């Protein structure tokens, strides 16, 4: 066990972090000082004594990962990034929560060096930490398959997560923690700040469970460090905490949970333990008292003692140099022994996505559900893209998210008669945990590999927070959502998504893709994987859809999916009507075109699998596809919201602005007007309106 050396300068640095947190919130007038003050010893211990990282190279592959699940306490992390020399300076702390600063209200991935993931929505960070731990296991198995698991690898690292009472009450944390126990993620250490305070005051009014017992039941290794002496005293026993962390690191077949019992805001002179310090400035008198208590000048704001900063930054740099030298020796030996894996690593580290064009299946005319086509695409590209892995929230057979011939990602002893595998496996089993799944995927997709996850579209609502975080962080997670409309049929309105596609389209930064057939699905996968700066949503059908004959006269190639919306087949004769459709309704639009053309009405069908991609096209292209002066009709088995922009004020929208019912999909499509006859009628109405 590593010996802890804790000097007077270390303690002075901890106390400096407390005061900086108090001063920063006081200066801006709002924020969350209490937890940052009482957890300063824990954060300092991690950054200065425990974690392997390099402030000069924050994305070093060999680093440990840190997740501040209690993102509102951003100063817990910011003060340590400042002290360790990650690029934050005193002026950045003074600019807390102000426009353009590197210290926003919650830590943001891609914005502040040293921040691994955006946190803030409580519980999400715990699930992110589980994702980082899973990614670590998979990356090691992918890149260093010849090293036994009980031997060190340059791809080993730990994931540390600080969480609190709020996170422990949120569903995503519980979902992910349960899965982590099943996955036996021995590289994950979660430290729970048991301060028994939330915004409404003492947690006893709503939260009384034994959290440690819950984590033991999940299969975690559980320890308790009590700085309150059972509520009788207060002593920041950093050595006991360090010993608990070292003991956790030694456990390799269970994730570790350390319950750290604290008093929020300690050692504030009058407000320690009061919920008022959770999310508000402390006031000048209280801060002056804190400074006096800790031996600082009450009149000096933002103390910056040269010997403290030199100590912390030199220590962090020296630890980084030693860790990096040791790691580099192991890494170089690995490269020499594993040339093929080294070549793969170089591609992954450079963010290069392989060309999938030759691997994509081409589907002959016939019928196939786009969910089934999606599964065939995944199997076909598996060998070309070994970094790709994914699965489903217990719906693999329905979502078609299983790559055929690939093992599952799980401890070997968890294998079932249907799914067997190890940590080299590529099939993920999330259980019925949609929200945790989304956050786990987001963490994975910040690293070297690419992961996708599936469920029914109607359950996208269960995971919307994680989808929003993917878009906010520009993480290329691929969400596979099947059973996309009233075509679900007999399961009824609880399982028939009506508003979901429209609600996803209004979210900034995500591509919502609803392919018309199997070949559009193949192209959609290739395009989604090629985009590394944003998430994608694949919206897929339960029911079989006609596979469009791309060799037929006048039919555009499926590669035009890249344009977002394209002329699938143009008018025969003078253009009078444009029918815009997505997904399963494209075949309805084609049938309507046949009927209109039979009457001599020139009709174009536009397949619009991704409006985000279409909106990004040049204006002249968009105008050519959807020209002025002709009747326009949109057809989509969802709410009409959003389509007026494309059909104009004179156009018609064929949609469904009410919930469905339990009946066969074919019956519901006919009953609710998703038929060629109804589309023709709407086209004629639009034509009449134009005169």
Give the pairing type, strands 536-539 and 511-513. Answer: parallel
d(CA 496, CA 494): 6
Helix (H) or strand (E) holding 645: helix 644-647
97 confidence band (pLDDT: 50, 70, 90): very high
434 is catalytic: yes
| Whether residue 2 has pLDDT greater than 90 | no
Q: What is the pLDDT of residue 452?
A: 98
Q: What are phi and psi of 540, to 5 degrees?
A: -125, 150
CB 438 within 8 A of CB 179: no
List of residues 6+ apart from 185 with CB closer than 8 A = 130, 133, 134, 137, 254, 255
Catalytic residue among 139, 434, 585, 636, which?
Answer: 434
Q: What is the DSSP string of 302-333?
A: S---HHHHHHHHHHHHHHHHHHHHHHHHHHHH
DSSP 9-73: HHHHHHHHHHHHHHHHHHHHT-S--HHHHHTHHHHHHIIIII----TT-TT-TT--EEEESSGGG
Which of these, 94, 169, 88, 87, lies nearest to 126 by C-alpha position? 169
Say whether 75 sits in a helix, a strand or coil: helix
581 and 545 Cβ atoms separated by less than 8 Å: no
| pLDDT at 633 > cutoff 80 | yes
Reported as half-sphere exposure (CB side, CA atoms, 13 A), residue 598 has a value of: 9
User: What are the boundaries of each domain within the chain?
Assistant: 14-321, 366-546, 553-690
CB 483 within 8 A of CB 509: no
Q: Does residue 577 sit in helix, strand or coil?
A: strand
Task: Please tell me the predicted confidence (pLDDT) of residue 494.
Answer: 98
- Given the candidates 3.40.50.970, 3.40.190.80, 3.30.70.270, 1.20.58.110, the CATH classification of the domain at 14-321 is 3.40.50.970
Residue 161 backbone dihedrals phi, psi, to 5 degrees:
-135, 130
With bands split at pLDDT 50, 70 and 90, how would you rate the model's confidence at 475?
A: very high
- pLDDT tens across 345-390, in order? 999 999 999 999 999 999 999 999 999 999 999 999 999 999 999 9
Q: pLDDT digits over 262-306, tens only?
A: 999 999 999 999 999 999 999 999 999 999 999 999 999 999 999
The Cα angle at residue 487 between residues 485 and 489, in degrees rounded to 5: 115
Strand positions, DSSP E, 285-426: 366-368, 388-392, 408-409, 421-422
- Above 90 in pLDDT, residue 1? no
Q: b/e map of 203-216 (b: 16 or more CB within 10 Å)?
A: beeeeeeebbebbe
Give the span between the Cα atoms of 440 and 129, in whole angstroms. Answer: 8
- pLDDT, one tens digit per residue, over 393-409 is 999 999 999 999 999 99
What phi and psi, each to the nearest 5 degrees, are found at residue 536? -130, 145
Helix (H) / strand (E) element for 340: namely helix 339-349
C-alpha dihedral, 640 to 644 to 645 to 648, nearest 10°: 160
CA distances in angstroms from 620 to 146, 543, 565, 627, 642, listed in the order given: 55, 36, 13, 10, 21
State phi, psi for 71 to the nearest 5 degrees. Answer: -60, -25
The DSSP result for 424-464, as a single string, is: T--EEE--S-HHHHHHHHHHHTTSSSEEEEEEEGGGGGGGH
Please tell me the predicted confidence (pLDDT) of residue 687: 98
Fold equal for 14-321 and 366-546: yes
Percentage with pLDDT > 90 across the chain: 99
Record: fold of 553-690: Rossmann fold (3.40.50)
Residue 471 backbone phi and psi in degrees, to 5:
-65, -45
Q: Does residue 196 carry a pLDDT above 80?
A: yes
Dihedral of CA atoms 329, 330, 334, 335 in degrees, nearest 10, equals -30
pLDDT digits (tens, 9 = 90+) for 138-168: 999 999 999 998 999 999 999 999 999 999 9
The strand pairing partners of 367, in sequence order, are 546
Average pLDDT over residues 553-572: 98
Write down how long the chain is: 691
Q: 381: which 2 tokens?
A: 């590209």
Angle between helices 518-530 and 370-381 (to 10 degrees): 50
Q: Which of 67, 234, 231, 61 has the alpha carbon at shortest distance from 161? A: 67
The C-alpha atoms of residue 116 and residue 81 are separated, in whole angstroms, by 12
Q: Is the model's pTM score more than 0.95?
A: yes
How many whole angstroms separate alpha carbon 55 and alpha carbon 547? Answer: 53
At residue 214, the pLDDT reads: 98
Taking a C-beta distance cutoff of 8 angstroms, is the pair 634, 580 a contact?
A: yes
Q: For 148-283, where are the alpha helices, taking DSSP H only?
A: 165-169, 171-183, 211-218, 238-250
Task: Tell me how far CA of residue 503 lies from CA of 55, 457, 464, 488, 659, in angstroms.
Answer: 40, 11, 10, 19, 15
In terms of DSSP bridges, do strands 188-194 and 159-164 run parallel, antiparallel, or are they unpaired?
parallel
Residue in the structure block whose two tokens are 């093992």: 407
What's the mean pLDDT in 656-678? 98
Separation CA 582–CA 135 (nearest Å): 35
Residue 691 has pLDDT above 90, yes or no: no
CA distances from 556 to 64, 371, 520 (A): 49, 22, 11
Closest CA relative to residue 165, chosen from 280, 264, 40: 264
Q: Which CATH number fits domain 366-546: 3.40.640.10, 3.40.50.970, 3.90.1150.10, 3.30.1310.10?
A: 3.40.50.970
pLDDT-derived band at 43, boundaries 50, 70, 90: very high
pLDDT at res. 586 = 98
Looking only at Cα atoms, what is the longest distance across the chain?
Answer: 91
Beta strands 545-547 and 197-198, pairing class: unpaired
């Amino acid at each position: 066990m590593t010996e802890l050396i804790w000097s007077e300068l270390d303690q002075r640095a901890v106390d400096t972090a407390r005061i900086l947190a108090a001063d920063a919130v006081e200066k801006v007038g709002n924020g969350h000082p209490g937890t940052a003050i009482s957890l300063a010893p824990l954060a300092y211990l991690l950054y200065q004594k425990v974690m392997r990282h390099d402030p000069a190279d924050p994305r070093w592959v060999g680093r440990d990962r840190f997740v501040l699940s209690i993102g509102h306490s951003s100063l817990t992390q910011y003060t340590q990034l400042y002290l360790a020399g990650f690029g934050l300076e005193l002026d950045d702390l003074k600019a807390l929560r102000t426009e353009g600063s590197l210290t926003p209200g919650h830590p943001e991935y891609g914005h502040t060096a040293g921040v691994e993931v955006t946190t803030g929505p409580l519980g999400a960070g715990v699930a992110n930490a589980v994702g980082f731990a899973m990614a670590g296991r998979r990356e090691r198995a992918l890149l260093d398959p010849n090293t036994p698991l009980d031997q060190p690898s340059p791809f080993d690292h730990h994931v540390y997560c600080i969480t609190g009472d709020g996170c422990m009450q949120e569903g995503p944390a519980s979902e992910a923690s349960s899965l982590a126990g099943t996955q036996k993620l021995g590289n994950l250490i979660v430290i729970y700040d048991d301060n028994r305070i939330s915004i409404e005051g003492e947690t006893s009014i709503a939260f009384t469970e034994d959290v440690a017992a819950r984590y033991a039941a999940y299969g975690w290794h559980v320890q308790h460090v009590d700085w309150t002496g059972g509520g009788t005293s207060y002593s920041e026993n950093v050595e006991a905490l360090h010993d608990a962390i070292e003991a956790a690191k030694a456990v390799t077949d269970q994730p570790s949970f350390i319950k750290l019992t604290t008093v929020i805001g300690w050692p504030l002179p009058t407000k320690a333990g009061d919920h008022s310090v959770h999310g508000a400035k402390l006031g000048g008198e209280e801060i002056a008292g804190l400074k006096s208590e800790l031996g600082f000048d009450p009149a000096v704001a933002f103390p910056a003692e040269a010997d403290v900063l030199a100590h912390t930054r030199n220590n962090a740099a020296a630890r980084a140099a030693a860790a990096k030298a040791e790691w580099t020796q192991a890494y170089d030996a690995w490269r020499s022994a594993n040339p093929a894996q080294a070549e793969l690593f170089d591609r992954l580290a450079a963010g290069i996505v392989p060309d999938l064009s030759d691997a994509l299946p081409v589907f002959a005319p016939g019928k196939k559900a786009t969910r089934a086509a999606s599964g065939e695409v995944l199997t076909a590209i598996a060998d070309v893209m070994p970094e790709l892995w994914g699965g489903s929230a217990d719906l693999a057979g329905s979502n078609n998210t299983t790559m055929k011939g690939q093992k599952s990602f799980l401890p070997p002893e968890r294998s079932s008669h249907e799914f067997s595998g190890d940590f080299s496996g590529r099939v993920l089993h999330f259980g019925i945990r949609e929200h945790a799944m989304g956050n786990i995927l987001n963490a994975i997709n910040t690293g070297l590999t690419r992961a996708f996850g599936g469920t029914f579209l109607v359950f996208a609502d269960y995971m919307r927070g994680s989808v929003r975080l993917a878009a906010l962080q520009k993480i290329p997670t691929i969400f596979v959502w099947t059973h996309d409309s009233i075509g679900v049929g007999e399961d009824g309105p609880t399982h028939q998504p009506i508003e979901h596609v429209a609600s996803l389209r209004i979210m900034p930064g995500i591509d919502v893709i609803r392919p018309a057939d199997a070949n559009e699905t193949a192209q959609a996968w290739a395009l989604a994987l090629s985009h590394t700066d944003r998430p994608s949503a694949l919206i897929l059908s339960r029911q079989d859809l006609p596979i469009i004959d791309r060799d037929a006269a006048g039919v555009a190639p499926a590669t035009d999916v890249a344009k977002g919306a394209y002329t699938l087949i143009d008018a025969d004769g003078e253009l009078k009507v444009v029918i815009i459709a997505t997904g399963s309704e494209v075949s309805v639009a084609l049938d309507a075109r046949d009927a209109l053309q039979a009457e001599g009405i020139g009709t174009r069908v536009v397949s619009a699998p991704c409006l985000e991609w279409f909106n990004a096209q040049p204006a002249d292209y968009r105008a050519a596809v959807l020209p002025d002066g002709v009747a326009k009709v949109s057809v989509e088995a969802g709410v009409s919201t959003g389509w007026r922009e494309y059909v104009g004020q004179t156009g018609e929208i064929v949609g469904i602005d009410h919930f469905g019912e339990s009946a066969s999909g074919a019956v519901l499509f006919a009953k609710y007007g998703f038929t060629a006859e109804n589309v023709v009628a709407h086209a004629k109405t639009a034509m009449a309106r134009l005169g």
